[in-house]
């Protein structure tokens, strides 16, 4: 007889990304739902993994990450944002950004604490807060521009607010926060003990001449923030699940207390390979914005002549579209129909908010070969 085990996450099922990718595979649909490329990482990067495996780097790496990779991370951050993090005490390599976010929350949030997130919100944030015993408080990014309402955020902050989780460039809305947004955030948390978690995994994907306003650029915010980025997003290797977190020494000390028991350490030869690649090609990420802007523009051109209406995409590798000119299905129903009957998989945006607000908007991923995007466009124009 199975034990009666009350669920810690009674309202959580299988993530929408798994559901839609499985549905796409079952029906032979072009998968523009889950956010992963269908092209390969740089050849030098994969070659260096093989090199380090053959050279014997097959045992545990140091808990915080290999020194070579932490050095490369610190150098990259300083080059881009002008701030130097201490390699020994302020940089940690993680098993993907999701683990880094979970660990930061687990390290800081106590039962009864409140954590403010911005909805539509990436689906890992809320469950991480709940597992820590905290309460999720949603600020709203409203359709169609999805900008933060700082007056609303101010009203949500109270004596139980422990943390604010931000994400820019933003998944799923493809919006990018401005320097003014960062100044507004800094003003709201000034003089408090509120911690910021900044999910910046799309930091290298900002379009039309815009600039990524990292929390690291803002000295006042930097002193209270965990900042997280992803090698999987940057180097087209999402399946490697390697990311990093930087934070001031006191915050990172707490982070590492949790990190060592959540995952302990990360795949050793891949860490060394990424360090080699960063040292050989420190400018690789500098070209990503142009690379993905081409993808965005190519995909939007494929939608020309269709009944889908693209919203602005200022960053990430996602494109939101309105479909209300096609039918009035709920977005979850529409995505299932689009996958099973029309052969293209997308993600419904309503699943990113607890109120399931449905503006008849879905998300496509354009991190695909042009041939894949062209084939998807042909199908979408027929609808």
- Residue range 82-114, pLDDT digits in tens: 999 999 999 999 999 999 999 999 999 999 999
The Cα–Cα gap between 88 and 71 comes to 9
pLDDT exceeds cutoff 90 at 179: yes
> In sequence order, what are the beta bridge partners of 138?
117
Per DSSP, helices labelled H in the chain are: 16-27, 43-54, 67-81, 97-108, 125-131, 150-156, 179-189, 219-222, 231-234, 249-262, 268-280, 288-303, 331-342, 370-381
Judge whether 52 lies within some domain.
Answer: no
This prediction's pTM: 0.96
- Based on the domain organization, do 279 and 316 belong to the same domain? no
Whether residue 243 sits in one domain with residue 121: yes
> Where does the pLDDT of residue 1 fall: very low under 50, low under 70, confident under 90, or very high at 90 and above?
low
In a domain, 4, yes or no: no
Q: What backbone torsions phi and psi does residue 315 show, to the nearest 5 degrees?
A: -175, 180
140 Cβ contact partners less than 8 Å away, ≥ 6 residues apart? 118, 119, 149, 152, 353
Q: Phi and psi (nearest 5°) for 57?
A: -85, 60
Are residues 185 and 268 located together in one domain of the fold? yes
Assigned domain for 223 exists: yes
Which residue among 284, 306, 323 closes a domain? 284
pLDDT of residue 88: 98
Task: Find the helix or strand (DSSP H, E) in which 197 lies.
Answer: strand 195-199
Instruction: Find out whether 336 and 20 touch, Cβ atoms under 8 Å.
Output: no
Q: Residue 53: its pLDDT value, please?
A: 98
Q: Looking at the structure, do residues 298 and 276 belong to the same domain, yes or no?
A: no
CATH number of the domain where residue 261 is located: 3.40.640.10
Contact indicator for 316, 174 with CB cutoff of 8 Å: yes
Q: Does one domain contain both 98 and 216?
A: yes
Q: How confident is the model at residue 17 (pLDDT cuts 50, 70, 90)?
A: confident
Average pLDDT for 284-312: 98
Mean pLDDT value across residues 270-299 = 98
Within a domain: residue 96? yes
Q: Does residue 181 carry a pLDDT above 80?
A: yes
Percent of the chain scoring above 90 in pLDDT: 95
Mean pLDDT score of the chain: 97
Q: What is the pLDDT of residue 18?
A: 85
- On whether residue 360 sits in a domain, the answer given is yes
Q: What is the CATH number of the domain that holds 327?
A: 3.90.1150.10
Residues 6+ apart with CB under 8 A from 155: none
Q: Say whether the peptide bond before residue 172 is cis (omega within 30 degrees of 0).
A: yes
Looking at the structure, do residues 246 and 339 belong to the same domain, yes or no? no
Q: Do 135 and 110 form a contact (C-beta atoms < 8 A)?
A: no
Q: How many domains does the chain have?
A: 2
Task: Assess contact for 183 and 290: CB atoms under 8 A.
Answer: no
User: Are the C-beta atoms of 164 and 104 separated by less than 8 Å?
Assistant: no
C-beta of residue 211 within 8 angstroms of C-beta of residue 227: no
Is residue 368 assigned to a domain?
A: yes
């Amino acid at each position: 007889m199975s034990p009666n085990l009350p669920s810690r996450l009674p309202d959580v099922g299988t993530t929408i990304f798994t559901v839609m990718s499985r549905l796409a595979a079952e029906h032979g649909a072009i998968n523009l739902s889950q956010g992963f490329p269908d092209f390969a990482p740089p050849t030098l990067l994969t070659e260096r993994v093989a090199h380090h495996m053959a050279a014997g780097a097959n045992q545990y790496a140091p808990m915080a990450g290999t020194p070579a990779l932490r050095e490369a991370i610190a150098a990259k951050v300083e080059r881009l944002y002008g701030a130097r993090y201490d390699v020994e005490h302020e940089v940690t390599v993680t098993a993907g950004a999701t683990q880094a976010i979970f660990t930061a929350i687990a390290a800081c949030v106590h039962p009864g604490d409140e954590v403010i997130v911005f909805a539509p919100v990436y689906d890992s944030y809320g469950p991480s807060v709940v597992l820590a015993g905290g309460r999720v408080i949603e600020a709203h990014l409203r359709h169609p521009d999805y900008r933060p309402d700082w007056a609303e955020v101010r009203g949500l902050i109270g004596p139980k607010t422990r943390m604010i989780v931000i994400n820019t460039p933003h998944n799923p809305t493809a919006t990018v926060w401005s320097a003014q947004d960062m100044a507004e955030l800094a003003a709201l948390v000034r003089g408090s003990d509120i911690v910021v978690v900044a999910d910046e995994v799309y930091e290298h994907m900002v379009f039309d001449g815009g600039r990524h306003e990292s929390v690291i650029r803002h000295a006042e915010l930097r002193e209270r923030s965990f900042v997280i980025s992803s090698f999987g997003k940057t180097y087209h290797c999402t399946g490697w699940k390697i990311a990093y977190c930087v934070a001031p020494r006191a915050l990172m000390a707490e982070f590492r207390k949790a990190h060592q028991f959540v995952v302990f350490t990360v795949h050793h030869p891949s860490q060394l390979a990424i360090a080699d690649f960063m040292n050989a090609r420190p400018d690789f990420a500098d070209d990503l914005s142009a690379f993905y802007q081409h993808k965005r523009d190519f995909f939007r051109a494929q939608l020309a002549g269709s009944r889908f209406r693209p919203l602005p995409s200022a960053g990430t590798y996602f494109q939101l579209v309105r479909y209300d000119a096609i039918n009035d299905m709920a977005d979850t129903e529409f995505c299932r129909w689009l996958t099973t009957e029309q052969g293209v998989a997308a993600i419904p945006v309503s699943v990113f908010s607890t109120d399931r607000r449905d503006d008849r908007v879905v998300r496509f991923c354009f991190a695909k070969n042009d041939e894949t995007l062209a084939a998807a466009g042909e199908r979408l124009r027929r609808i």
